Amino acid sequence: MKAYILDAYAKGATLRLTDWPDPRPGPRDVLVRIHAAGLNQLDSKIRDGAFKPLLPYKPPLILGHDLAGTVEAVGAEVTRFAPGDRVWARPRDGRIGTLAERIAVDQDDLALAPATIGMAEAASLPLVALTAWQALVEQGQVKAGDKVLIHAGSGGFGSVAIQLARHLGARVATTASARNAAMLHDLGAETVIDYRSERFEERLSGYDLVICGQEDDTLVRSLKVLRPGGRLISISGPPTPDFAQRQGLNWPMRQVTRVLSASIRRKARASGVHYEFLFMRADGGQLARIAALVDQGAIRPVIDRILPFAEVNAAFAHLDTGHARGKVVVALHPDA
């Protein structure tokens, strides 16, 4: 099969299109013909080598965490899928590789794709939608009337998280450039703060939850908008010792996370709020629930652009500018 290969970690590295062995599905695996794949900042960070301590992949490897496609074959123990099914997934860590023509996915990571959208639209959602679900529903436990700040609302994650938070009944604020304000209000944001000209911590207070994909100054300033007992959830770091323990990281790495997050955890305690780190996980059951929300119209994809498979490196170059409105998707087949 054709696949894009990362030969070595390097910032902004170019991926190489080449022939690669077809995947060999195990008894619990589903072999999927990929129609479209979404790109994420996680792919760029892995390519750059930023996540080597947490995700020790060994190049050469195939990147890609989002897919939509059709089932070609199933393993002997697979009970929920059959050849021809339209599916979507965020394959689990250690088994990524959606920038290819085929992939074998554990059935627990897979779900039937939403019926009301196309393959390219479906491919834009799994990772960011699962992250939003796990931040808002699992960790954040958002309920009707809660006040939630979601940073960088016009990005792939933010555009989905705003919609889910609004569906849960929250009052949503977000940060973005002024040119994206109308789009974000349409998605459900009540308050849009222009990060270029305004200080969000001067306009917001008494919030129950902040979800932040940025580090350093923005993360620290976010503490100021939370009520006592509120929660600050970071999806970019620094990771915490609790996260390291859940991941089963070794003792040295646990100490590294302790040091890296010591400052923000100390400042959070002084402010009377909770700091947590979220590294999303694959979950087909949650994707099935998200698919239902998509088909109900509660969540809709926001796509910046769809590029052909031949332009994967151009797609990464655009993603790396940090100015994409929604997701960047590559399509392997015209019907995507």
In the block, residue with structure tokens 């999303």: 280
Residues 335 and 116: their CA atoms lie apart, in Å, by 15
pLDDT of residue 247: 81
Give me the DSSP letters along 206-251.
Answer: SEEEEEES--THHHHHHGGGEEEEEEEEESSS---HHHHHHHT--H
237-256: per-residue pLDDT in tens?
Answer: 899 998 888 888 888 888 98
Tokens of 188: 């459900």
Q: Does the structure show a pLDDT above 90 at 210?
A: yes
Mean per-residue pLDDT, 295-299: 98
- Could you tell me the sign of the dihedral formed by the alpha carbons of 66, 68, 71, 72, in that order? negative
Give which of 3, 10, 130, 131 is closest to 63, Cα–Cα.
3
Structural domains for the chain: 2-125+301-331 (3.90.180.10), 127-277 (3.40.50.720)
pLDDT of residue 292: 98
Give me the DSSP letters along 51-109.
Answer: TTTTS---SSEE----EEEEEEEE-TT--S--TT-EEEE-PPTTS---SBSEEEEEGGG
In the block, residue with structure tokens 């990464």: 316
pLDDT of residue 308: 97
CB of 49 closer than 8 Å to CB of 126: no
How many CB atoms are closer than 10 A to CB 76?
9
pLDDT of residue 249: 82
Residue 89 β-bridge partners: 67, 110
pTM: 0.97
Residues 39 and 64: their CA atoms lie apart, in Å, by 7
